[in-house]
């Protein structure tokens, strides 16, 4: 069975590069450009992992994670951030993030994080 992933990032180029890379490695990928868009397409128990940008207009990645977790408590999360702080990393792990990746990153780092989860 192919794993389904949800990628949410307001940066169109990054979102598309990540999505295409993951598809080329056998994953089914849906993409959204904001937390609100992600909520609009989200279906509980459809995805294995949500890969979320931390800083997005309107709703950050942890706020989105909280909303998605209420709909699907089995979903795993990877946070991507270009603004890493110790406080943010700590809060993310406390909130239940499985992993987080600091931008810019090599796509192979993201793939390895996904493989550790699945």
Just give the CATH number of 4-117: 3.40.50.2300
pLDDT tens profile 64-77: 999 999 999 999 99
Distance CA 31, CA 73 (A): 20
Handedness of CA 110, 4, 21, 55 (dihedral sign): negative
Q: Report the 10 Å Cβ neighbour count for 27.
A: 19
Length of the chain measured in residues: 118
31 Cβ partners below 8 Å, 6+ apart?
Answer: 6, 7, 8, 9, 15, 16, 19
User: Pick from 60, 62, 114: which is nearest to 92 by CA?
Assistant: 62
pTM for this prediction: 0.94
pLDDT per residue over 42-59, tens digit each?
999 999 999 999 999 999
Q: Give residue limits of the domains in the chain.
A: 4-117
Distance from C-alpha of 71 to C-alpha of 68, rounded to nearest angstrom = 5
* Residue 9 confidence class, pLDDT cut points 50, 70, 90: very high
| Contact yes or no for 75/50 (Cβ under 8 A) | yes
């Amino acid at each position: 069975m192919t794993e389904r992933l949800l990628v949410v990032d307001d940066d169109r180029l990054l979102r598309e590069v990540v999505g295409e890379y993951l598809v080329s490695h056998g994953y089914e990928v849906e993409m959204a450009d904001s937390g609100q868009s992600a909520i609009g397409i989200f279906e509980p128990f459809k995805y294995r992992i949500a890969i979320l940008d931390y800083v997005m207009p309107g709703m950050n990645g942890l706020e989105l994670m909280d909303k998605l977790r209420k709909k699907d408590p089995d979903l795993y999360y990877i946070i991507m951030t270009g603004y890493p702080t110790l406080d943010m990393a700590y809060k993310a792990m406390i909130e239940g993030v499985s992993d987080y990746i600091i931008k810019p990153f090599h796509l192979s780092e993201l793939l390895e994080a996904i493989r550790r989860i699945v």
